[in-house]
Amino acid sequence: MSRRPQTEIAILGALSIGPMTGYELRAAITDVLGDFWHESFGQIYPTLATLEESGSVRRATPGRTSGSRFEITSAGRAVLRERLAEPHTAPPPRNALLLRLFFGSELPPGRAAELLRAEIDRATTALGRFAAIRAEVVAEPESEARTFRSLTLSYGEHHARAHLTWAREALAALPQDL
């Protein structure tokens, strides 16, 4: 066991597109991977330091300390490929929404319906965002990268639609007095 932190994969992956500062890295991860991945500054900066020490990344503009972009080295690319090929283990499930709904009888009246309506909103918003991204992706020239980007987007679309359908059905199935 004891796998290295996945943050390294996300950072090396992002830097494989182009050099970035820690700050830009976080923005890029939020923008591009935000629907299925997240990193905080508290993870990014220490991890960048580790990766620099191990030679996986280097400063593209070595002089400055503030605002210097990091670029991935060829050793770093090798590490990225290794780490991506490692088996992933899904963390044990902890779905706070379902936990609340399972014990829904203990919820104040109307609360379950409220939770479901919030989910409908969230899913609807997500579907709108996905539609915009889909339009972008369709316009891109065909490439391997586009294939994989489309594939992850498709994941979001399928799950968001399922979520929306579920929440609507569930809301309809709830008796009035709950």
Binding site for DNA (CB under 7 A): 1-7, 21-24, 38-43, 45-46, 48-49, 64-68, 92, 94
In the complex with a copy of itself, the residue whose CB is nearer, 64 or 88, is 88
Residue 76 CA to residue 102 CA, distance in Å, equals: 46
Q: What is the dihedral of CA 7, 12, 13, 16, to 10 degrees?
A: 160
Contacts of 20 (CB under 8 A, 6+ apart): 14, 28, 69, 70
* Orientation of helix 74-85 relative to helix 7-15, angle to 10°: 130
Residue 111 CA to residue 174 CA, distance in Å, equals: 11
CB contact burial 127-144 (16+ within 10 A = b; e otherwise): beebeebbeebeeeeeee
Is 60 one of the binding residues for a copy of itself (CB under 8 A)?
no
In the complex with a copy of itself, the residue whose CB is nearer, 61 or 145, is 145
In the complex with a copy of itself, the residue whose CB is nearer, 66 or 143, is 143
Is 170 one of the binding residues for a copy of itself (CB under 8 A)?
yes
Residue 124 CA to residue 163 CA, distance in Å, equals: 9
- State the minimum distance, in angstroms, from the CB of residue 65 to a copy of itself: 29
- Site stretch for a copy of itself (CB under 8 A), options 18-26, 36-44, 50-58, 127-135: 36-44
Is 38 one of the binding residues for a copy of itself (CB under 8 A)?
yes
Q: Kind and range of the H or E element at 70?
A: strand 70-72
Which pair of tokens denotes residue 163?
């979520």
- Site stretch for a copy of itself (CB under 8 A), options 18-26, 50-58, 99-107, 130-138: 99-107
Find which of DNA, a copy of itself, none residue 135 binds, CB within 5 to 8 Å per kind.
Answer: none
- Contacting residues toward a copy of itself, per CB under 8 A: 6, 9-10, 13, 16, 33-38, 77, 80-81, 84-85, 88-108, 111-112, 144-145, 147-152, 154-155, 158-159, 161-163, 165-166, 169-170, 173-175, 178
